[in-house]
Amino acid sequence: MSLANGRHYLAIPGPSVVPDRVLQAMHRAAPNIYTGELPEMVEGLLPDLRAVARTGHDVAIYIANGHGAWEAALANTHARGDKVLVLATGRFALGWSEIAKRLGIECEILDFGKTSDVAADRVEAALRGDAGHAYRSVLMVHVDTSTSVRNDVAAVRRVLDDAGHPALLMVDCIASLACDRFEMDAWGVDLMVAASQKGLMTPPGLGFVFFNDRADAARGRADCNTHYWDWDLRVRPVDFYQYFDGTAPTHHLYGLRAALDMIAEEGLENVWSRHEKLAAAIWAACEAWGTDGPLQLNIADRAKRSCAVTAIQLGAPKGTELRDWLTANAGVTLGIGLGMAESGEEAWHGHFRIGHMGHVNSHMVLGVLGAIEAGMVALDIPHGSGALSAAARACAAA
Ligand SMILES: *Cc1c(COP(=O)(O)O)cnc(C)c1O
């Protein structure tokens, strides 16, 4: 006997829930990729993408996932043998550095661990120690999806400015765009990478690189650039096909159009505050559960938690048991504990994550939390009481 039948909720931190409106926009015959409606529609996507990134600068669109956007960002801005400073707060900045290394870029990694954000004083020391300005860029992740930490991007900009260091500030917003507040231009970000399948509510397959003039200027010496990743024609196309260096990702573009319409109709500020309020409900529940028993939020300080994803420690093997129970019995699938395996034997099974990015509302969040509580009861996992009413109160207070 299972209560899992009904609409399944994939509550993992990407791919996120795809709204019916996005799916319906994609359910259509293939359009002409040379003239007509599609080229006109794509012109209209660009200002809306810029608005979501809070930038007036360029955006190149790739048929790629986030890894492709990572590679595009580096290929356009670096030469082999360049040095970059990587600020690691979990799996994802390290993943970006792996791509850099394969391009022949030397990575200096400042590792802040798996439960902390970037500490500005350590970044400052590293930059001041680089008097010859060997670092061509600083790579950081706004929200690290493995740890659910949210880094202070503007603080890193201030450190760069105070140190008078010319390195580009390159930020991965794949998890945070249209979830956590992000202001590309106001925060002085030179380049930002994003992808379609998280806050942008569209299936995986589109990668985005937003870049300003400083990042564009670095392209001149980028000897690891290639025809496909080169952003030049993608942002300055003479013919429509050059936007994508080939056939346009037709159906994804229609899906993205619908998703951007939804964001514009709700209003970006409201989208951010919805994510904030829903995250607060999740934290309220987790904090109540954590008053008794093993459950702990991975990031202790509320001010440093992402509003898009929450990483939780439960102790091995309970994390995996709880995830399996929820899929089999409640119709909810939680995210695995990513990047935690190296913490020790079987540690991986002690973690799980809740994805609450994009097309998510209070009944979905309250449903996930109720299902987690049911799972902890069924599996005899001790936990504090009052979690669900605390979450309900948080939603009511919104
Ligand atoms: C999901 C994610 C990635 C990787 O994106 P893919 O589409 O899986 O390549 C990179 N960085 C962050 C912060 C992410 O959340």
User: In the chain, where are the structural domains located?
Assistant: 9-16+267-396, 31-264
| 227 Cβ contact list (under 8 Å, min separation 6) | 245
The tens digit of pLDDT for each residue in 283-342 reads 999 999 999 999 999 999 999 999 999 999 999 999 999 999 999 999 999 999 987 765
Rounded to the nearest angstrom, the gap between the alpha carbon of residue 141 and the centroid of all alpha carbons in its chain is 8
Site residues for ligand 1, CB cut-off 6 Å: 14, 65-67, 92, 141, 145, 172, 174-175, 195, 204
Q: Burial, 181: exposed, middle or buried (Cβ in 10 Å; 0-12, 13-18, 19+)?
A: middle
352, 337 in Cβ contact below 8 A? yes
How many angstroms separate the alpha carbon of residue 77 from the centre of ligand 1? 20
Q: What is the mean pLDDT of the chain?
A: 96
Q: What pTM was computed for the model? A: 0.97
106, 83 in Cβ contact below 8 A? yes
Which tokens go with 263? 């964001």
Please tell me the residue having the least CA distance from ligand 1 atom 12: 174
How many angstroms separate the alpha carbon of residue 67 from the centre of ligand 1? 7
Nearest to 3 by CA among 332, 363, 391: 332
pLDDT interval class at 142 (50, 70, 90): very high
- The dihedrals phi and psi of 282, each to the nearest 5 degrees, come to -65, -45
The tens digit of pLDDT for each residue in 17-72 reads 999 999 999 999 999 999 999 999 999 999 999 999 999 999 999 999 999 999 99
The atom number, within ligand 1, closest to the CA of 65 reads 7
For 9-16+267-396, CATH number out of 3.40.640.10, 3.40.190.10, 3.90.1150.10, 3.30.830.10 equals 3.90.1150.10
Domain 31-264 has CATH 3.30.1330.10: no
pLDDT of 295: 98
Mean pLDDT for 214-234 is 95
Pairing type for strands 135-141 and 168-172 reads parallel
Pocket probe mutation, ligand 1, options 16, 87, 174, 309, max atoms within 8 Å of Cβ: 174
How many angstroms separate the alpha carbon of residue 75 from the centre of ligand 1? 18
